Structure 1
């Protein structure tokens, strides 16, 4: 073989590896464009990313360049719980007497594919994957599970004894814990219900152009249900889809009250915020605010204003209601945030901590957690007045971090308990490396 032919063969193999990487990232979110801050020269990978040229005020850039990193131990000890599938690292109380308040507690790997969704409710954890399974965990042990007939699980919301799951096939399925002896869950319906869908189909006025050259009833999603959120005060469930609409569901009777044509591209995130606001983020690069107001005798969600309009796709939006702050992660690896100023939201700055796209966000107390396609989780603490400190970077995943869920560990303490030194949280992270990890996170570094 000549040197020229050997060079071409090596070049071809490199291209194949890069193409596989691109396919992996895009297969998880085809409407998310992965970018890096510094693209290597002569890169053969084309992610079709949009450059970030947002028209924003000059932001205060908070970076997380070299924070304290908490790596998972190389050698894991066997779990002390013989029935638990988790592998636990060494105790965080070291021989030197130092207590490490932030770090990895345990890992779980199932041969079920990528983990796309998480939901925590009390001592129960629900996980969804592309195996179409929803697994239920309790105290680090597998408690139960249930399976849909089609569609990987993109979103999970728990409300009382009901579990709502959003799927790739455009369906929202409703489940209920039905048998304590068998620890079984039963599917009790869909959103919309079959009855409502048939009734809507009988009225020609209820049809919209859902797909090219095809009209369908407006009360149903016709593409991936990518996100859901719950507003317990109003008893409403919001669902966002790649069909570019947001639908509003009344939980008392499972009725679809509204369908909002919210964006020009796939909707990746919807959150119920403070002051009756609903915030949405889309692959069209915008973050929009909606307000529920009376229109005649009924309440409707009306467009209020746009928080962000940029070229990079918005991948995740989260709200810290106690601090009246909105965070939005993007495919360029940045997190923009806005703070309430009088009657509106004002841009507070940008958090720069990731090299690749931010895929998920979660808040806990004064903390913000950001999971990224660079396999890491950044832990940020809000210091007030728009200032954020990067407390740590959680590194253990070997694939993009796709979803986060937080459980309040402070409930284990009494308000007058002397052992309570700071606010601590249990954080669950799901990844495209097929693993689920459990972290202890503190608002104060040990």
Structure 2
């Protein structure tokens, strides 16, 4: 294989651009292909939402070196950016520094090995990867690569409303499509405010995205009393959905849970438990949710399906992936991130060894590497690509030496409060950063 070929990185989001920076630091040629028109295109789609993580945990070390050399000023470490601020103040400048190594409006539609389909063994690993891409004007091209790092994320493939993992009956009907959304509404915008103010909305899901939407709707009801929020849970009880409150490892995340609990206790949010959606049907201009037993909820105007995401593997059909059958994450990584066992604070750092597939030189990274697990950490993604860059460069010792700097109990990315917490307030249990160094063997043993 020609080592002069670039490493192709798919996606110019936080982890994809970090991968490019890490590869550049290793002196490896790199080409980033981004479907969107800008760096962090999908981050900007939830740009109105504030992250739980502070700036100190949202900048890759190799990326910071590139940016600093270009005169970049790092934002204050103890503040919480919105998605838009993260993209504007960090991702766009990083893409600018990388220059023509980042190509926008270029969608990857397939990845394979030159002259070898999925079935062929003979000479397979000696052949470069072929990355098939399509530009905005419909032109298709084939790019040869020595390795491929897929950091395309999961944002474009949200989980459906149906409790069995498939679309509920009627969910895809054309007359309902404009009333079922998979995005947290931006109630600061006039358009979204008109859509939800004075109307009833069912929020399906129990994660932090659902809590964020519920808190926003409950606050909207204070200025427009006709606004109604209905929280639809598949489980028979709320359980630990509110998180750790004041004991939460992230102050902003804990505050969100406490605000949601207060809204439920005050009656601002109605709760329906044990409801596993099987169908949706129109009733006039409204929507009725139906569960597996035939139980129906009162009609609502809008439905927010905030039930998580899953990886799109459709264009990787010619790559030999080694995935866990449950999570659709790399088989060696899955036991470390299983949400039935782990929370954000208990996921161990990992690198190239855990992310390897039967197809040498191909890696899933970032949120996509976690498959259907919702426990991804931004810092973990940076560590993933540092280790992978070392492995591709032939520095196997550095690749196996997993290193991670993070607050004592970990940092989770994800949606949080719309307003920024006061940086002078205590930030919970997350004290000064501590450096953790684990060998690949130690990481596996910890599982």
Question: Structure 2-normalised TM-score?
Answer: 0.24
- Greater fraction of residues in helix: 2
Question: Structure 1-normalised TM-score?
Answer: 0.24
- Greater fraction of residues in strand: 1
